[in-house]
């Protein structure tokens, strides 16, 4: 019996913005229950890799494979685009993204924000989605804010609402792009607690983060990107406890100093 394929697998990925080569042959694998952290300095390609994983960005070369199913492409190089719009929609709805800046709709209540995509994108029953949305708002600790507007919430509460919105899609994996970097330290911990609980539940997650403690404590696998390539990767105990590359040693010493 063959092993279950990874939820997301990326091989040999190249991505450029004009003349700037941001990813230079990157591989990534996240199996069910994995928490993969992407660390590295600004401009190393972390967020771009995450956006390529759920097809918010088009890559020029390499494969993106969702649960054993390769993304279909047409064209080559800078003209390469996904060939199947339905496949893209299906993959995106199964790889829910949580952004740095929350991206909540200001004209919708928190409950409406969480319900919007399952109802309008997936066409699910509104009453069933509302029950699920309220349950997820309770899970992230803001059930009492269901009828509030985003502007009435703190940054930490808004980010927890964004996590509930991602969960309400019932995705196969959650993708976090610097989920705590826009928050002050106290509000950051509210969000870290939610992400920690999701990791303990065994949810599949790919996490771009500047928070080295979170990467060390929550990851099953850590990838250190430098200038668009994987400089070092492995269990967090290895990367944080005994980094091999000089560049990673420098990065970690600067992170600890900060």
Q: What is the pLDDT along the chain (258 residues), one digit of tens a residue?
A: 458 999 999 999 999 999 999 999 999 999 999 999 999 999 899 999 999 999 999 999 999 999 999 999 999 999 999 999 999 999 999 999 999 888 899 999 999 999 999 999 899 999 999 999 999 999 999 999 999 999 999 999 999 999 999 999 999 999 999 999 888 888 899 999 999 999 999 999 999 999 999 999 999 999 999 999 999 999 999 999 999 999 999 999 988 655
Sketch the domain layout of the chain as residue ranges: 8-257
How many C-beta atoms surround the C-beta of residue 224 within 10 A?
25
Return the CATH fold of 8-257: Rossmann fold (3.40.50)
- Is residue 82 within a helix (H) or strand (E), and if so which, with residue range? strand 81-82
Cα–Cα distance, 256 to 258 (Å, whole number): 5
- CA neighbor of 164 nearest in space, from 183, 185, 179: 179
């Amino acid at each position: 019996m063959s092993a279950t394929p990874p939820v997301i697998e990326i091989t040999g990925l190249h991505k450029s913005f004009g003349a700037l080569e941001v990813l230079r042959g990157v591989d990534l694998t996240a199996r069910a229950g994995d928490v993969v952290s992407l660390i590295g300095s600004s401009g190393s390609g972390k967020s771009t890799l995450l956006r390529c994983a759920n097809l918010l960005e088009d890559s020029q070369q390499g494969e993106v494979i969702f649960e054993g199913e390769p993304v279909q492409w047409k064209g080559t190089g800078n003209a390469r685009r996904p060939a199947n719009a339905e496949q893209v929609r299906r993959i995106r709805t199964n790889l829910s993204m949580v952004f740095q800046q929350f991206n909540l709709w200001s004209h919708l209540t928190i409950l409406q924000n969480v319900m919007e995509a399952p109802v309008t994108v997936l066409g699910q029953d509104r009453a069933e989605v509302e029950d699920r949305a309220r349950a997820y708002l309770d899970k992230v600790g803001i059930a009492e804010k269901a009828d509030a507007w985003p502007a009435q919430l703190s940054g930490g509460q808004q980010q927890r609402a964004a996590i509930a919105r991602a969960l309400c899609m019932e995705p196969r994996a959650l993708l976090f792009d610097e989920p705590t970097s826009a928050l002050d330290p106290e509000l950051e911990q509210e969000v870290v607690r939610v992400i920690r609980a999701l990791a303990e539940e065994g949810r599949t997650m790919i996490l771009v983060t500047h928070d080295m403690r979170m990467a060390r404590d929550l990851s099953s696998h850590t990838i250190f990107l430098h200038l668009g390539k994987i400089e070092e990767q492995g269990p967090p105990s290895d990367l944080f406890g005994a980094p091999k590359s000089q560049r990673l040693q420098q990065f970690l010493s600067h992170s600890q100093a900060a």
